[in-house]
Amino acid sequence: MTLLYLCSDQFGMGELELGRKLLEMYLERLARSDVKIDLIGCSNSGIFLTTEGSRVIESLRILEKKGARIASCGTCLDHYNLRDKLLIGEVGTMDMTVQLLATADRVIRP
């Protein structure tokens, strides 16, 4: 199982807007590629990618149509008061995160 772990709303570390632009480009290219992603896990500021205002929601929808399951951290959604603003996927738990990170064959973290 291949897990795309998005624990931030940006690609790498550094200047915020550049990181967001890079992640947007990465997800667009990933959605157009033949790379198989089984699960996309979003935590911390990564939950901004699956909620209202997301700049990457269309890329995530394409990946979901290709078979990727999408889960956003429930604790993170609650922290930012965004649980009712979730646009795609399901609400995940820390137990789920522990299991997935421990058992995934491959973890991609841009």
Interval 57-89: pLDDT, tens: 999 999 999 999 999 999 999 999 999 999 999
Task: Give me the half-sphere count of Cα atoms (radius 13 Å) on the Cβ side of residue 108.
Answer: 16
pLDDT at 102: 94
Torsion of CA 79, 84, 90, 95, to 10 degrees: 30
- The percentage of residues in the chain with a pLDDT greater than 70, rounded to a whole number, is 100
Model's pTM, two decimal places? 0.94
Task: Say how many C-beta atoms besides its own lie within 10 A of residue 3's C-beta.
Answer: 23
Among all chains, which residue has been given the structure tokens 């992640």? 23
Domains plus CATH for the chain?
2-108 (3.40.1260.10)
Task: Supply the mean pLDDT for the chain.
Answer: 97
